[in-house]
Copies of this chain bind each other. A is one copy, B any other.
Amino acid sequence: MNDVARAAGVSLKTVSNVLNDYEFIRPATKQKVLDAIAELGYEANLTARSLRSGKTRMLGLVLSDLSVPYYAELASRLMSIAAGRGYRVLVEQSGAEAAHELSALQGPFRQLTDGLLFTPLALDAGTIAARQGTKPIVMLGEHIADPRFDLVTMKNSEAAASITAHLLAAGRRRIAVLGAAAGDTTDSPGLRLNGYRQALEVAGVEFDPALVVQCEWRRDGGASAVVGLAESGVPFDAVFGLNDAIALGAMHELLIRGIKVPDDVAVAGFDDIDEARFASPSLTTVSPGMEEIAERSIKLLIDRIEGVERAAAGLHVEAGFELKVRDSAP
């Protein structure tokens, strides 16, 4: 910057002012500076700028594992949208472990970013509230639906109810639910299971706990859940995987066992990942509005960072959902 100032015959600060679009600069002066910049191929040093300004123009994204398709697609969208507003996204994988989530919240990672998009899976609201620091945080997902935090989420219950209702409308009465968690009802599995139960109730179909299976939210989780169901001998005519990975794994296992989809058993999922469209048969699922989640969470976070959004923390945003009826459950 010194060289540029000398070449343009102005002071250091004038160059800085030009770069920062300072209001009161004579066009002639500005042009001289811009010429000098172009001639010398000068580029501002972002590190120095960060040190001085205290801002990095980076957003932190904390999720369990980037190789999970839903997170990968979300991260991709978030990065593109953030880029449009002049921010970069720095991803941190927590492996859903409390220690990692904590270090993302408090450690050096936090320092590097102006704000956090946080998908907590292990930490509870109290712990986060106690260590949230001063920079803005926007929660993603539903594990933490706490009035103290800004939150962007999806209509889990409504969407799950909607797809369950679709299965019921097609005449299915024994709908197995795969991917339930133990006990709680405030996170994704809980909310989606609630939606399922509500839809049953509306339709006047009795809830059977034997149809609720706990499993990991992965393809192999869905597959082994079907193994468990088959071995237990519980009859079922539909499977609702609480996410697409579970549903796809389950469908795979059903087909291997010679069970026809959708003739013998209908299969439905949740998330509408790209893969769902191209499965065989294509997977009926519900799209939770990822594009909208990405857009609104980035907007909210940046507005917080830049002081545009001044409402007290605790804004809750719910994106709309859309039923995707395909061949696995017409």
Contacts and interface: CB of A to CB of B under 8 A. Distances in A.
Interface of A: 43, 45-48, 50-51, 56, 65-67, 69, 72-73, 75-77, 79-80, 88-93, 107-109, 111-112, 219-220, 223, 248-249, 251-252, 255-256, 274-275, 277-282
A221 B277 CA distance: 13
A278 B248 CA distance: 7
A93 B80 contact: yes
Given A67-B274, A219-B277, A278-B219, A76 B47 contact: no
State the copy count for this chain: 2
12 contacts: A43-B108, A43-B111, A46-B108, A46-B111, A66-B72, A66-B79, A79-B91, A88-B90, A88-B92, A88-B112, A219-B274, A256-B280
A112 B90 CA distance: 12
Contacts of A223: 278
B66 A75 contact: yes
Contacts of A91: 75, 79, 89, 91
A66 B76 contact: yes
Given A79-B91, A219-B274, 13 more contacts: A43-B108, A43-B111, A46-B111, A51-B51, A66-B72, A66-B79, A69-B72, A88-B92, A88-B109, A91-B91, A220-B278, A252-B279, A280-B280
